[in-house]
Structure 1
Amino acid sequence: MTGHSPRPGRRARGRRLVAGVVALLTLVGLTACANREQAADPNATGSATTSAGAFPVEVSVAGGKPVRLEKKPQRIVSLSPTATEMLFAVGAGRQVVAVDKLSNHPADAPRTELSGFNPNVEAVAGHNPDLVVASDDRNNLVAGLAAVKVPVLLLPAASTLDGTYEQLKALGRATGHAAEGADVAQRTRADVEKVVKDTPRPNRQLSYYHELDSKLFSATSRTFIGQVYNLFGLRNIADAANSASGDYPQLSAEHVVNANPDLIFLADMETPQAVAARPGWQDLAAVRGGNVVSLDPDTASRWGPRVVELVRQVGAAVAKAGK
């Protein structure tokens, strides 16, 4: 008899076989998804967890004390404008719940009245942080927060560009963004090196004066900002100041005039016009050549990822003055 249907037993076995295959494929798919999620989430458990973002983790930088973090922090308080910039740069911005009142970059950082210079432990703890990042241990910040079991990661002011790269990577590890931190550090280094390489070198060594404020405080070549100028082979007139003054000496107007720098960099919001109006300064080589440069006081005083902007500005000034 043609056109007959399979026997009921064979049909049932076929349905069971198809159902088994579907279940197996579903299990494989779910396992693959779980593995991908574990690889992406440093807090996930299981063999697929990546060691680069695994917790607990111990983090430290030069000049700071090691800090052990048991799990990925979800409520970070930053008491350092540089640390705030770094946290957002490495992808931890969503974990930041409060920053100090001087942290003005990026614009969407959650600014508060917290102070990094005079921190109030109770006010900081009021934000229920599971990690606090600061540049200095002031007002017994570390001990005070340790009493309520809040770890503090100290990122002291970097004295070299390598210190910047180290801190970016450290913050990446501390926040569960190890890969991003390493990538930002590598890109920042590469961008700085490219600017320096692409800047034409003048036929002679140029001298410069870096002004921190209108009272003529400056910075020597041993400081972070001095290291930036060193990249371009510049000679710092502050290096000849009395060594007893430390790395941030106050120069006299006579010292600056006698040194006659080729370049003047202003980190105090002064203008080239105001500098030219100072007695005896109108004849300085930098003033006559139009090589007085007003720097962004934030990028000139911080050691975060925006150092590339500072390097570009210095490179442009060197290229112009060297023509």
Structure 2
Amino acid sequence: MPPEMRVVSHTCSNTEIVCALGAQDRLVAVDADSDFPPDVVGRLPQLGRDLQFDVEAALALKPDLVLSSLTVPGHDRIVDAFTASGVPLVVCNPQSLDEVFDDIRRIAAALELGAAGERLIATMQQQMPLRTPAPDAPRVLVEWWPKPVIGAARRSWVHDLIERAGGRNALAGCDAPTQTLAAEAAPGTPVDVLAMSWCGVKVDKYRADVVLRREGWQDVAAVRRGRVVPISEEFLGRPGPRLVEGYRQLRAAIEGV
């Protein structure tokens, strides 16, 4: 990788990928949600949250590469602005775990660190051993938001993580990245474990009582038996290296049933 390469990261998952590849010294700016690794992001300009990212300020830093994303509605406006500028750009929009690995490869290639990318992927795969779900494996709902309830459906890397950890995705019947459920009525599918992974909320602010007291959910197995667990969104919602920790916590929750 050329030592003078200057990289701007628009999303926290891309920031974490760059650092896991050992290229953190190439970062010249990140988004305001990038909080890991703290010793790296703490010294960098933070150019606003993902939907308010200051594209002009980023371009003023004369980056050789911008890493962006389409994982959140509204990101396309930021991506379009970077595309119009002509700056070299890598845009990630993974749905499956395999696509997360592919994005790591693309970022590594752009940084001229292809071998490091393959090592990172191999390490992640080794640390997330495949546990084939049994026919009666616990059904897991990963909840991105509590009201309305928004959960991870089949077209998501979380679906793959649940199955890899030996569980079954409670929302596997929905062929989309997410499914929205009413908080006032029980879901139309059984749920044995509910993992709170609320987007944009620190894990110490997750409140199991919000789930446990839902009137329409009192007959849901996860609620009835108190199987409601917090798993920080930084470990499940960021398609990058720390999905390994999300896998570990999912596996612990599944094995605890």
TM range (shorter): 0.7 to 0.9
Deviations 1:257-309 (A, max 9, x none): 56441111111153223321222434432134332111101222111000100
**Aligned position for 2:221:** 285
Deviations 1:2-47 (A, max 9, x none): xxxxxxxxxxxxxxxxxxxxxxxxxxxxxxxxxxxxxxxx6xxxxx
Q: Percent identity, aligned pairs only? A: 27
Give the residue type in structure 2 aligned to 1:113. Answer: L
Q: Return closer, same or farther for 1:276/1:205 CA change in 2, 3 Å cut-off.
A: same
The TM-score with structure 1 as length reference comes to: 0.67
Q: Return closer, same or farther for 1:127/1:73 CA change in 2, 3 Å cut-off.
A: same
**Aligned position for 2:9:** 78
The TM-score with structure 2 as length reference comes to: 0.82
**Aligned position for 1:163:** 99
CA distance in 2, matches of 1:258, 1:167: 34
Q: Return closer, same or farther for 1:189/1:235 CA change in 2, 3 Å cut-off.
A: closer
The 5 A counterparts of 1:259-278 are 259-268=189-198, 269=203, 270-278=206-214
**Retained in 2: the 8 A contact 1:72–1:174?**
no
Q: Return closer, same or farther for 1:145/1:116 CA change in 2, 3 Å cut-off.
A: farther
Deviations 1:182-219 (A, max 9, x none): 111110111112xx44x9x6682322222111211122
Q: Secondary structure at the match of 2:256?
A: helix
CA distance in 1, matches of 2:77, 2:63: 18
Would you tell me which structure has more helix in proportion to its own residues? Answer: 1
Q: Return closer, same or farther for 1:97/1:164 CA change in 2, 3 Å cut-off.
A: same
Residue 174 (1) aligns with residue 104 (2): no
Q: Secondary structure at the match of 2:186?
A: helix
2:29 to 95, 98, 116: 98
Residue 191 (1) aligns with residue 138 (2): no
**Aligned position for 1:238:** 171
Structure 2: 5+ residue stretches without partners: 71-75
**Retained in 2: the 8 A contact 1:145–1:151?**
no
**Aligned position for 1:135:** 69
CA apart distance, 1:255: 5.1
Q: Bigger CA drift: 128-137 or 226-235?
A: 226-235
Give the residue type in structure 2 aligned to 1:221. Answer: R
The 5 A counterparts of 1:278-317 are 278-317=214-253
**Aligned position for 1:151:** 88
CA apart distance, 1:102: 1.1
1:228 to 153, 158, 161: 161
Q: Return closer, same or farther for 1:255/1:283 CA change in 2, 3 Å cut-off.
A: closer
2:180 to 250, 267, 277: 250
Q: Which has the larger radius of gyration?
A: 1
Q: Secondary structure at the match of 2:77?
A: coil
**Retained in 1: the 8 A contact 2:170–2:191?**
yes
CA apart distance, 1:87: 0.2
Give the residue type in structure 1 aligned to 2:150. Answer: F
**Retained in 1: the 8 A contact 2:134–2:166?**
no
Q: Secondary structure at the match of 2:29?
A: strand
Deviations 1:143-193 (A, max 9, x none): 3321xxx3112122x112222222222222221322222111110111112
Q: Secondary structure at the match of 2:180?
A: coil
Q: Return closer, same or farther for 1:255/1:240 CA change in 2, 3 Å cut-off.
A: farther
Deviations 1:37-59 (A, max 9, x none): xxxxx6xxxxxxxxxxxxxxxxx
Number of residues paired by the alignment? 241
Would you tell me which structure has more strand in proportion to its own residues? Answer: 2
**Retained in 1: the 8 A contact 2:140–2:195?**
yes
Q: Return closer, same or farther for 1:77/1:257 CA change in 2, 3 Å cut-off.
A: closer
